Amino acid sequence: MIRPLPAAGRVAVPWKNGGGVAREIAAWPPGTDMTDFACRVSLAEVGADGPFSAFPGVDRTLTLVEGAGMDLTVGGERRLVDTRHAPRHFRGDEPTHCRLIAGPVVNLNVMWRRDGGRPAPTVAVVRGTLSLPAAPALVVTLDGSAEVAGATLGPYDAVLLAGAHTVLRATGRTAVIGNVPRD
């Protein structure tokens, strides 16, 4: 099974705290909102300094994809996020404050409930050719293009894969998110 998730159809939705916008790529179960998702993947646009929304019981992996980066304070601990395409993990219920380093950024954001009874999603940013197992995965092109399961992806296009071994050919950096739920 392959389900295309084109970037062109995504709508900007205000953050839970109103401090920015996100464009949802996929959420499980499908149709859930910010209060009842089990797993959610989005692109978040951060345009100003300020707090992140709190998500009790949620863990997150954030990957900087555009911009110079952020100086985060997570639960009182400083975390400099200034390297693109390097996934960073932190708890979504820790108070988190962001100071932009040099202007707006875009982040790939993967969030999941710790009490969901399933393994945490994995996030890897790859480039080149990679053999993907038959397990469910979400592939998101971050820059350049990629080909997977007969689909050609441009920047921020995605596909949900399940049920068949396939090969990913990425000319640019591409996120492979494993351990995602089946639809």
Q: For position 166, which CATH number holds?
A: 2.60.120.10
3 state SS of 7: helix
Whether 31 is covered by a domain: the verdict is yes
- Exposed e or buried b per residue across 25-43, where buried means at least 16 C-beta atoms within 10 angstroms of its C-beta: bbbbeeeeebeebbbbbbb
Residues 126 and 174: beta-carbon distance below 8 Å: yes
Q: Does residue 17 surpass a pLDDT of 80?
A: no
Whether 61 is covered by a domain: the verdict is yes
Q: How many CA atoms lie within 13 A of 1 on its CB side?
A: 11
Q: Does residue 183 surpass a pLDDT of 80?
A: no
DSSP β-bridge partners for residue 160: 3, 138
DSSP 76-97: TEEEEE-STT--EEEETTS-EE
Name residues whose C-beta falls within 8 Å of residue 34's C-beta, 6 or more positions apart in sequence: 16, 40, 53
E strands, 76-164, are 77-81, 88-91, 96-100, 105-113, 122-132, 137-141, 146-148, 151-153, 158-161
Whether 93 is covered by a domain: the verdict is yes
pLDDT over 70 percentage in the chain: 99
Q: Does residue 121 surpass a pLDDT of 70?
A: yes
pLDDT digits (tens, 9 = 90+) for 62-96: 999 999 999 999 999 999 999 999 999 999 999 99
Give the largest CA-CA distance in the chain.
46
Whether 37 is covered by a domain: the verdict is yes
Q: Indicate whether 20 and 89 sit together in one domain.
A: yes
CA distance 72 to 151: 36
Q: Indicate whether 100 and 131 sit together in one domain.
A: no
Q: Does residue 32 surpass a pLDDT of 90?
A: no
Whether 3 is covered by a domain: the verdict is no
Residues 92 and 60: beta-carbon distance below 8 Å: yes
Least confident of 1-5, 11-15, 30-34: 30-34
Least confident of 89-93, 95-99, 179-183: 179-183
Q: Does residue 16 surpass a pLDDT of 80?
A: no
At 163 the pLDDT is 74
CA distance 166 to 151: 11
Quote the number of domains for the chain.
2
Range among 19-23, 51-55, 141-145 rated most confident: 141-145
Q: Indicate whether 32 and 89 sit together in one domain.
A: yes
pLDDT digits (tens, 9 = 90+) for 128-165: 999 998 889 999 999 999 999 999 999 999 999 987 88
Q: Which domain holds residue 74?
A: 10-116
Over residues 22-43, the mean pLDDT reads 91
Average pLDDT of the chain, as a whole number: 93
At 33 the pLDDT is 81
3 state SS of 178: strand
Name residues whose C-beta falls within 8 Å of residue 165's C-beta, 6 or more positions apart in sequence: 131, 132, 133, 134
